[in-house]
Every structure is written in C-alpha cells, then in structure tokens.
Structure 1
C-alpha cells in the first residue's frame, strides 16, 4: 500500500513539491503522536535502529524496503531530469539515495525531539539542490 501511495504521489508534475511532501512526513511527527504522546517513528527506520545487523531476516526486509524506495524515487527523478525539472548533473540513483538518507535521518532524529523549523529548512535545502 505504501509503495502504491509513493508511486502515485511521485507521478505528478512538478516533482519537487511531491518530494517535499514525502520528505516532510517525518518532520510532521508532532502531528502524528501516538496515544502515549510519543512519536513512534518509521517502522523500517525503527527496525534498522533496533534489529539490523543482529537479525538477518530484519536486515533483508529493511534492505528490500530501502531499495524499493530508492528505485521508485530514481524512476521519478529520471523522468524529471528528462523533462528538465531537476538537475541532470547528478545521477538519479544518487539523488534518490540522498533523499532516502534525509527521510530516514529525520525519522530517527524525530524520536528524540525535532526542531520542526530546522527540519523543514533542511528538507527545503535538499529539494532546492535538485533544481535544474
């Protein structure tokens, strides 16, 4: 279900606003607080932090999830490069990997508290770096 939502979200023009929406999800964890009042973070990110590399099955699941995320983003970025919307000076695979690191880093940091303004500024900086 998440993959279908991600693909549908990225199948828009222009791409950068859609990417911003996806990346701001971890920065909005204050809006997604659990009943206990504690941000739960991302399931895949939490699994990475807590189980990888001690659990080979968890490692495989996380690796597949991250690969699928970057594959989906790579396809969207490749289309946006062809349309001249994002810079062509970097490989779309590298751009997608950077965005994975941004979203997972924000998800992890948000568990300890997050300066929402700083997080949004960092996301905007990452998105602006894609500008053609």
Structure 2
C-alpha cells in the first residue's frame, strides 16, 4: 500500500510540475520580462491574498517534496532535480532574451541569474510556510529584480 501511495504522490508531483512549467513559460513570454519575473517571485509571499483563487497553486509541491523526501528517496530526488533544472533552463532562456533586448544586465551570466532566482523562489516558498513578514519579503524580491536591471 505504501508503494501505491508513493507512486500516486510522485505522479502528483510530476503533474504539478507540468502545469507549473506551462504557466511559467506563458508568464515569461512577455516583454518587458522583469515585471513577469517579479510576479513569479512574489507568489509565495502573497499566498494570503491568492488563497481564494482556485486556479493558483497553494505552496510549492516540488519544494515540499525536497524538504520531506530528498535525498533519501532516489526517485523523488530525480523528480525534484529535473524540475529545478527545467526552472533554471526556462528562466535562463527568458533572461538571455531580455539581455539581448537590453532589459537585463549582462554583468553576470543568465545561467547564474536563473540559479539565483531559483534559490529565492524556493527559499521564499519554504520560509513563507512558517509565517513571513510580507513587506520584508517583497522588499527583498524588489532588490533582486532591481539587481537584474540593465
């Protein structure tokens, strides 16, 4: 029975990621990019106001899986690693386009910038579960986004 429950759980994580990835790609297919990035990054800090929106995911199932199952579960680790890799690939592509358009600074690589944004959004998602000073979180996000500005 535990194996069946585990399988359902990991299938749910995969499905969650597929939906999130489609949303992420759509959100980042805009110009200018920085407002879209800010929206993505602020989501965990704004759960209180988004909680009534049925179409908005509540928390991060990939982040929760990381906290609960990684590294002791090899399959969960693979799912999480793939999800984080796809997040950085998608963000990197968007940042590369924004650098070419002169919107985003070229002082660091888009890969490093995307990795930083992954750490911010996942860290914020985890911290927000324990309670959060929303104004401080939003100020930190604004600082990160401003740091990307050309």
Tell me the TM-score normalised to structure 1 length. Answer: 0.92
Aligned length: 127
**What do residues 22-57 of structure 1 show as CA deviations (whole Å, max 9, x unaligned)?**
0011101223459xxxxx631011100111001001
Counterpart for residue 70 of structure 2: 52
1:100 aligns with 2:118: yes
Within 2, Cα distance between the matches of 1:80 and 1:65?
23
Say which one has the larger Rg: 2
Counterpart for residue 25 of structure 2: 7
Within 2, Cα distance between the matches of 1:24 and 1:10?
14
Give the unaligned 5+ runs of structure 1.
Answer: 35-39
Within 1, Cα distance between the matches of 2:142 and 2:103?
16
Counterpart for residue 144 of structure 2: 126
Within 1, Cα distance between the matches of 2:104 and 2:133?
28
Q: For 1:18, which of 33, 36, 53 is the aligned residue?
A: 36
Deviation at 1:5, TM superposition (A): 1.3
Give the unaligned 5+ runs of structure 2.
Answer: 1-18, 53-57
Counterpart for residue 43 of structure 1: 61
RMSD of aligned Cα (Å): 1.2
SS of the equivalent of 2:148 reads coil
Deviation at 1:2, TM superposition (A): 1.6
Within 2, Cα distance between the matches of 1:91 and 1:74?
9
SS of the equivalent of 1:8 reads helix
Within 2, Cα distance between the matches of 1:15 and 1:41?
23
Within 2, Cα distance between the matches of 1:97 and 1:106?
14
